[in-house]
Amino acid sequence: MFTGIIESLGTIKRMDAVSGDVRLTIESDSLDFCDIKLGDSIATNGICLTVVDFGQNWYAVDVSRETLARTAMQNWSIGDTVNLEKAMLPTTRFGGHIVSGHVDDVGTITLMKKDARSIYIELQVPDSLKYYTATKGSITTDGISLTTNLVKDNIVCLNIIPHTAQRTNIDRHWYVGALVNIEVDVVARYLERLLLGNKDSLSPQASITEAFLAENGFMR
């Protein structure tokens, strides 16, 4: 479990093909390695990955085909900067929101512009995720806990303050057309499950739609 508050930045040092999937090696001079051990979870650009090897300032993780297919990792290259967050402790100050590190899909940045000292961003999420977003809700983007200022159909509007831009990989790797990892608020996932009941077991395509909400009295 994570909070979406980025601890440090890392650099992808190796990407090795291993029997059909990938082993990544990430190096960081700012991440605290003193309490890292084998089997620990580290969110890497929002993806919960398990440490399988580590050294003084690096760790290695194995990445499955499922993760490669569902995330923006397929576009990563050696030398890229990634956002890092170690799994939270029970004593951790909860500064963001509940983040599982299970990426739902990939979004595309469609607009970036200056807004006073902040950066205004419009992020297009897949149609399958748009009903999980809400104005003034939370969304995890490349592991960063962000507040959605406004939602327009499948466009999520965000404002990035200077501190966030400087402490994450936004300044280096976000641009119009860039693909980013998206994790929706876990509360929205469970709410859908409660509303659908057994319908998802009858049809793998079942989802919350405007018609479903109207049929069940949630819209007029």
Residue identified by tokens 């290259």 is 77
Across the range 90-94, mean pLDDT stands at 77
pLDDT score recorded for residue 46? 97
**pLDDT one-digit tens code per residue, 28-48:** 999 999 999 999 999 999 999
pLDDT score recorded for residue 212? 53
Closest CA to 45 of 91, 79, 76, 13: 76
Domains of the chain: 8-86 (2.40.30.20), 105-186 (2.40.30.20), 187-220 (no CATH)
CA distance linking residue 203 with residue 108, whole number of Å: 28
CA distances from 18 to 48, 62, 155, 169 (A): 19, 9, 37, 27
Residue identified by tokens 């919350």 is 208
Percent of the chain whose pLDDT exceeds 70: 90
CA distance linking residue 171 with residue 28, whole number of Å: 18
Give 205's pLDDT tier (boundaries 50, 70, 90). very low
pLDDT score recorded for residue 192? 78
**pLDDT one-digit tens code per residue, 112-161:** 999 999 999 999 999 989 989 999 999 999 999 999 999 999 999 999 99
Closest CA to 188 of 166, 169, 208, 168: 208
